[in-house]
Amino acid sequence: MHDKVAIQLEVNDRKVSADVSPRMLAVDFIRGDLGLTGTHVGCEHGICGACTAVVDGVAVRTCLEFAARLDGRCVRTVESLAAADGRLSGLQQSFRKHHALQCGFCTPGILMSAMALLAENPNPDAEEIRDVVSGHICRCTGYVPIIEAILDYVKQAGDDHGA
Ligand code: FES
Ligand code: FES
């Protein structure tokens, strides 16, 4: 019988303290304990990318991470993207504009991987975007609208900064 592990972390700009079982997965902690169900569970094997959240700026498959290892770290989930009043972020609006989602199951993970990419490289080209999106399984869109949505967002953001 294992004792619980006390963890303290930041989730979407909120300080969180919890006691977790040593073998609890990060995705189960995020969804079950924190109620942030926008982080989806697909394959549970690190393949589909649906469970992706950003941890200390890096896109992480939370089905492959233990909750205990989130101690002291900064986690962002898809719930952090929209404004408090529900207004979608620029990237989310671009996904809507380009019909880059249908069932939406893959979408939170792809959005979070894109956010990690854009934080590191605000002006990625199509190849770099394709490389990141290729780490996610989407059964609906054929991927093309997803690439277009991210590219268009990058262009809009560049235009805004250049204005
Ligand atoms: S549920 Fe984590 S990669 Fe598929
Ligand atoms: S929109 Fe359905 S899996 Fe991607």
Ligand in closest contact with the CA of 50: 1
pLDDT score of 162: 58
Phi, psi of 160, rounded to the nearest 5 degrees? -60, -40
- The answer to whether residue 85 sits within a structural domain is no
Q: How far is the CA of 65 from the centre of ligand 2 (A)?
A: 23
Q: How far is the CA of 128 from the centre of ligand 2 (A)?
A: 21
Residues 64 and 126 in one domain: no
Q: How far is the CA of 105 from the centre of ligand 2 (A)?
A: 5
pLDDT score of 160: 78
Pick the atom of ligand 1 nearest to 40's CA: 1
pLDDT score of 120: 97
CB of 109 shorter than 6 A to ligand 1 = no
Per the DSSP assignment, residues forming a β-bridge with 17 are: 8
Query: E strand or H helix at 33, and its extent?
Result: none
Count Cβ atoms within 10 A of the Cβ of residue 2 and give its class: 0-12 exposed, 13-18 middle, 19 or more buried.
exposed
Q: How far is the CA of 47 from the centre of ligand 2 (A)?
A: 15
Last-in-domain residue among 80, 114, 145: 80
Nearest CA to ligand 1 atom 3: 46
The total number of structural domains that make up the chain = 2
The domain in which residue 48 lies consists of 5-80
Which parts of the chain have pLDDT scores under 70? 1-2, 161-163
Taking the complete model, does pTM exceed 0.85, yes or no? yes
